[in-house]
Chains A and B, each alone.
Chain A
Amino acid sequence: MKKLRISNKRIDDDLLMKKRRAELDKWPTGKEVDFDEAVAYQKSLPDSKIWWKVMTKLREEGRMSVFPRAGTPILEKMIELCQGLRDSGVVLIPVTTDSYTRLGQYEKIEEILKECYRTGKPLLNGYPIINHGVKKTRKLIESIDAAFSPRGGGGEIAIASGMTTWGGGIGFLGFGSYSKNMTIRELVERSQNGMRLVGWYADRGVILCTDLHGWLPSAPFPLSVNIVCLIIEAVTAAEQGQKALYPLVHCMGNMAQDMAWIRLAPRLIREYLDKFGYKDTMIVGVCPSQTPLFPVAMDLGGAFAYLTYISMIGALSKTNAVDLRSIDEGAGVPTREANTMSYRAAKWIFDVVREQKIEIDVKDVATEEKVTETEVRAILDKILELGDGDIVDGTIKAVESGVLDSPWSPNVNVKDKVLGVRDVKGACRYLEFGNLPIPNEIKEFHRQKIAEREKLEGKKADYHTAVRDLWSLSKGKILGIPPYNQ
């Protein structure tokens, strides 16, 4: 096979600067950004506001922080919200933008913002960072002693405001989970054109961190495709100049699998980063994430239990961050009280369990790790074969042929030929393999596990089983034997 490489179309600096200014010109607040001043401002930030440094310190000290979701439109309320988070021990604060910001509907937002300030009500489902601009957002950053990360949007305004994360590679999250018509080629182009920014800042001594999501598994589905995508995201980010990153690991609820994946993801990412020659790109931690469907708004007990489970997994796996939603997740924008309670619960687990540095050896973890590792390597080998050593080219061909695939994607260009169901222990198995290049012995393993469930339920596992399994964590019953309401 030819040397491992990444097709890299690095755009020249002149073109980059023009594109940056053009993007900022889309709304008047863009004028508040001066590129050199932004660099100086970033360099003036204390360590406690620099994301990669905060994560590294947490890990060195054996501590954890919740990495929540937080965004509300009125600035003063947002400051209050974030202060509440900080008081609960959260040192990694997201600034979650609203849905209209993510789609560039700034004029619409301006009108709604006026309403928000007039009525005092949060009419948007996040913080409209572009409309607020740099000056206002710096007020937020400067009021609280924590590191900030823009979620869902924010562009240069986010960096100039003092936020210290920036995505720098091919992002499957947007493609597989949030886009309808984007093709994989368009995703690659967008990523490569737009992401040179992180390298530009790195060249000037500013290290922005990124979290990697992979292709979000929106249903019970083994994490192998996701982990392959984490690796692709990592190497393409490193190629654009990313020096600090960490994976989110989407926990599915089966403890053996969740712990196995938390161990596996950073290990394989490190291996491939090194293989491709990015030895100086740091993996600053691992972050278990609370991803599957959340309990309904009225089920506070379920909400607490779910976030506690994820905190526990993080503590037992000795991670340094945990991506949690508050108990208000099903209800909308969390109140200060809800956040305080939720993250207090998580912090209790961190401070009581994590500190014990438990060496835990759950029986099936090794098996799950081996199975997923075999699948990941098989898919990656196929991708590199398709691309003749070029991972980007291989990725494009893989998505187009279903070698990379995920169930129930909103994107019309995804094959959607795969499906997952849970087995008798709630572990995620492949019901339909689609075109995933999984070795036969592994396929047999999945089939056997599903057969056990079929025996228990007395019926064949099919599409309807997969649908029932969508509610395993939201309804709080991991094994899909009906009825749920008894």
Chain B
Amino acid sequence: MVGTTKDLGEEWIKGRMPHPETLRFAQGDRAAAHIEQIHKLFKGEAMKRVPTVITGTVGMDAHVIGTKVLSRALRDAGFKVVELGMQVTPEEFISVAQETKADAILMSSLYGMAELDLKGFNEKRMEAGLGDVILYIGGNLVIGRTDPKEVEKKFKALGFDRVYPPETDTDAGIEDLKKDLKAKGKM
């Protein structure tokens, strides 16, 4: 005899019962999803999705404090952060994004050569199927005193959704990220 649904669930979670009786007639994929939902409910897991964000300093740049401070702020805000550190090639950002099914890539650059480093990046990431990934970049992005609006235009043309000047508050960036993720239904 089957007990209450709660008992059923527990037995199932503990692996002692293959399928709950009630799902005998469910079909294919829907069944699997259904099972997962119930599984989660019984385990008390939140239904909310935790987005994955990749951070790192791009190209040959060895600056790391900004990206470390940002990574910690993101973690504190509840994100899953894949922290790549310094001297990350654009290709590495792409392959890690594919592996981790990342929702966003937040790049830092402080040595002024980001434009050279990111030549062709947008095409490569599109080819890799990452067209939907949110892209931010921040730091000292060019050599010389340039109007921040010019810099923003330049990097948006390289595929970035948002471009931040130096000394941007991490909280502001994180608020923007939440907004952008919600708009894509990823949060």
Contacts and interface: CB of A to CB of B under 8 A. Distances in A.
A475 B167 CA distance: 10
B166 A330 contact: yes
Nearest to B65: A408
Contacts of B167: 296, 471, 474-475
Nearest to A409: B64
Nearest to A101: B60
Contacts of A471: 167
Given A99-B113, A123-B116, A408-B65, A296 B87 contact: no
Contact of B65 (A103, A179, A331, A470): A470
A125 B61 CA distance: 11
Interface in B32-68: 59-65, 68
Given A180-B87, A412-B85, A125 B68 contact: no
Contact of A408 (B61, B68, B143): B68
Interface residues of A, number: 34
A180 B65 contact: no
Contact of B86 (A298, A328, A410): A410
A332 B86 CA distance: 20
A125 B112 contact: yes
A332 B65 contact: no
A297 B141 CA distance: 12
A122 B143 contact: yes
A178 B62 contact: yes
Given A296-B166, A330-B166, A332-B112, A99 B144 contact: no
B69 interface: yes
Interface in A210-244: 218-219
Contacts of A467: 69
B167 to A, nearest CB: 6
A159 interface: no
Q: Which range holds the interface residue count of chain B?
A: 20 to 34
B120 to A, nearest CB: 14
A474 B66 CA distance: 14
Interface in A452-478: 463, 467, 470-471, 474-475
A410 B62 contact: yes
A177 B65 contact: no
Nearest to B72: A463
Interface in A305-340: 328, 330-333
Interface in B91-116: 111-113, 116
A180 B84 CA distance: 10
Nearest to A124: B113
Interface in A405-423: 408-410, 412
A120 to B, nearest CB: 14
Contacts of A178: 62
Contacts of B30: none
B116 A332 contact: no
A99 B69 contact: no
Contacts of B87: 180
B85 A99 contact: no
Contacts of A328: 145
4 cross-chain pairs, A with B, having the tightest CB-CB distances, nearest first: A332-B143, A410-B64, A331-B145, A332-B144
24 contacts: A99-B59, A102-B60, A112-B116, A123-B116, A125-B112, A125-B143, A177-B62, A178-B62, A180-B87, A218-B65, A296-B165, A296-B167, A331-B144, A332-B140, A332-B144, A333-B143, A333-B144, A408-B65, A408-B68, A410-B64, A410-B85, A410-B86, A463-B72, A474-B167
Given A296-B167, A470-B65, A471-B167, 5 more contacts: A123-B116, A125-B111, A125-B113, A125-B143, A180-B62
